[in-house]
Amino acid sequence: MKALVAVKRVVDANVKVRVKPDNSGVDLTNVKMSINPFCEIAVEEAVRLKEKGTVSEIVVVSIGPKEAQEQIRSSMALGADRGILVEADDSQLGALEVAKILKGVVDAEQPQLILLGKQAIDDDSNQVGQMLGALLGAGQGTFASAVKVEGDKVQVTREIDGGLQTVELALPAIITTDLRLNEPRYAALPNIMKARKKPLDTKSPADYGVNPATKLKTVKVEAPAERKAGVQVKSVDELVEKLKNEAKVI
C-alpha cells in the first residue's frame, strides 16, 4: 500500500526564539530550521512499515516556502520515495487550509495510510491530522505510540491522559505520531546523495482549489511574562524555611 507523510519545516527545537520588537511575530531570520520532530517520527514509521513489506511506496508532502524542499530531501534521505512541495506562504495558512490542501493531495495520490506529526512545535496547534480525518471521512489514530497494520485495518495505540488506549481503524486512516512511537534514524551520506535524485513535484494551493487565507488573524505576538529571578539556597534548612515562611506553600 501507499503511505503519505506530511512534514513541516519549523524552527529547530533547540532554538530559543525571540519575539520581534514590533510584536508582529517571532524573529526567524538566520535561525536554524529543521523538520518538525513529530514529522520526522512519522517519516521513520512509514520507512519501518516499508521495511516490513506493509508499505510499497512513501510519498512525502510539505506545504510551505521553497526552502521546505530541504525537509522533503531529508525525508527522502531517511527512505521516502518521492516528494511533493506545495509552495505557499506559511503565515497565511491555518490548520484548516493545510488540511484542505492535504485532502487535495490525498485525493490525487490515494494513499491507504496517512501519517502526520501530532503537532508542529512552532504553532503548537495539534489540529491538522484531525481536520484531515474529518475532510476525508477517514478514521484517526491520534497521539500514536504503536501502529499495527492488519489486512484492511490498522490498530493504533494512543497516548491518552490516563494511560494508553487502543483503537482499530478502517483503511484509509490518519495516524498522528507521538514522541514514543519510534526513534528516527540518522540519514547516511550515500542516502543523502541518492535523495537528491528522487523526484520532487512542485504544486500550489490553487492546484488543489484551496484559498490559503486563514480566518484567524494574529493581532500580536508578545514575549511571556518574565519570572523574577530566584535565589540559590545553601542548605535544606534554608529551603524549608523559605518555603514555609517566605513562599508559604508548605
Partner 1 sequence: MSILVIAEHDNKALNGATLNVVAAAQKIGGDITVLVAGSGAQAVADQAAKVAGVSKVLLADDAAYANQLAENVAKLVASIGSGYSHILAASTTTGKNILPRAAALLDVSMITDIIAVDSANTFKRPIYAGNAIATVQSDESIVVATVRGTAFDPVAAEGGSAAVEALASAGDAGISKFVSEEIVKSERPELTAARIVVSGGRGVGSGENYHTVLDPLADKLGAAQGASRAAVDAGFVPNDMQVGQTGKIVAPELYIAVGISGAIQHLAGMKESKVIVAINKDEEAPINAVADYWLVGDLNTVVPELVSKI
In the region spanning residues 35 to 74, those forming contacts with partner 1, defined by CB under 8 A, are none
Other Cβ atoms closer than 10 A to 83: 25
Only segment of 52-60, 82-90, 106-114, 152-160 that touches partner 1 (CB under 8 A) = 152-160
- CA 99, 100, 101, 106 dihedral sign is positive
The piece of 58-66, 67-75, 115-123, 195-203 that touches partner 1 (CB under 8 A) is 115-123
Q: Where are the alpha helices (DSSP H) in 79-120?
A: 95-109
* Stretch touching partner 1 by CB under 8 A, among 10-18, 63-71, 74-82, 196-204: 10-18
Indicate whether 134 belongs to the interface with partner 1 (CB under 8 A): yes
Q: What is the DSSP letter of 209?
A: T
Which position among 89, 91, 170, 196 is part of the footprint of partner 1 (CB under 8 A)? 170
Instruction: Closer to partner 1 by CB, 71 or 72: give it.
Output: 71
CA distance 84 to 6: 10
Longest dimension (CA), the chain: 68
* 130 or 191: CB nearest partner 1: 130
Site for partner 1 in 84-103 (CB under 8 A): 94-96, 99
For residue 81, give Cα distances in angstroms to 3, 39, 55, 158: 10, 16, 11, 27
Site for partner 1 in 200-229 (CB under 8 A): 214-224, 227
